[in-house]
Amino acid sequence: MRSDRIAADSAVTALAPLVWGSTYLVTTEFLPPDRPLLAATVRALPAGLILLAIGRQLPRGEWWWRAAALGTLNIGAFLYLLFVAAYHLPGGVAALVMAVQPTIVLALSSGLLKERITTASAVACVLGLAGVGLLALAPGAGVDAVGVCAGLLGAVSMAAGIVLTKRWGRPPGTGLLTFTGWQLSAGGIVLLPVMLFGEGLPASVDGRNVAGFAYLGLVGALLAYAVWFRGVERLPAFTVSVLGFGSPLAAMTLGYVVLDETLSPAQLCGALLVLVAVCLALPRKPKGRKRVSPPPPSRQSRLSRASRPAPR
């Protein structure tokens, strides 16, 4: 029964990175060019305010700074660095750089959560990274230093956010959507002044831009992050991070379906390696010793016990 619940939780959590895999396509095809701060702010802040309005609950005590820290790591800094990477790198290469996140989560979980590093976990990291590499490093793929640095810093930010979310949990009496709203709002508030002073507002926005922002805000943030934080609560931190490998898989599939990109045999092998890595990362029921029931007493022993005098 427990294994069925783990499989169900993993499948639901995987929906978030699958949605996030469309970020690269939406950024390049629907959003105004060279506006990573605007894209990150509009994605986070409106969705967070909507959830706050629904939940009608603000943080209390130490959860003010905890929500701010988690919102900055999981949302604000991560989204900004994600969009910088998306603008400077092809989608597959950006996904490859971000794929170091499970390795970082594995190291942080060992130190902060006292989770044991197993052979399966280490192999999953190697296979996942190799698989994403086969998916992303197509011949002629452009590599930009700014994009690579942004992707690496984004992976570190999200990894730290996952581990701290797992360590601190959720305050009693606070719903999942409200908890998600705290983080989206905090991340958006951190981004807003930086966006206004660093980029400013665009001179014009067309219907295509509005559609892109609406999709990223409502589907890519409000719904996807609620699903993601639910998974962080129910699954080991490393398992959640490895499920993030679904993002480059989705990016590859969308490139094939929407942009008429071709898939090489190496990319198909990469997709298979990613799936194997995810299977290895799923938690397993610990093997315990089989309890052996004692053999039923013989008829002779039953008779001898029955013939004993009762204790006085």
Contact between 254 and 25 (Cβ < 8 Å): yes
pLDDT at 299: 53
pLDDT at 286: 53
User: By mean pLDDT, which of 1-10, 106-115, 133-142, 246-255 is the weakest?
Assistant: 133-142
Three-state DSSP state, 96: helix
Please give the Cα distance from 72 to 129 (Å, whole number). Answer: 26
Longest CA pairwise span in the chain (Å):
100
Closest by alpha carbon to 118, among 3, 283, 274?
Answer: 283
Residue 111 is classified by DSSP as I
pLDDT at 90: 67
pLDDT at 264: 72
Q: Can you read off the two tokens belonging to residue 84?
A: 């910088």
Is 289 a residue whose pLDDT tops 50? no
- C-alpha dihedral over 154, 242, 229, 146, to 10 degrees? 10
Closest by alpha carbon to 226, among 178, 182, 184, 177?
Answer: 177
Is 55 a residue whose pLDDT tops 80? yes
Which are the contacts of 30, defined by CB distance < 8 A and separation ≥ 6? Answer: 208, 209, 211, 212, 215
- pTM score, two decimals? 0.76
69-126: per-residue pLDDT in tens? 999 999 999 888 877 877 777 666 666 677 777 878 878 887 777 777 777 777 877 8
Q: Can you read off the two tokens belonging to residue 182?
A: 């705290």
Contact between 157 and 104 (Cβ < 8 Å): no
Please give the Cα distance from 5 to 295 (Å, whole number). Answer: 35
Is 287 a residue whose pLDDT tops 60? no
Higher pLDDT, 70 or 280: 70
Three-state DSSP state, 271: helix
- Residue type, position 239, single letter: T
Q: Compute the average pLDDT of residues 258-281.
A: 74
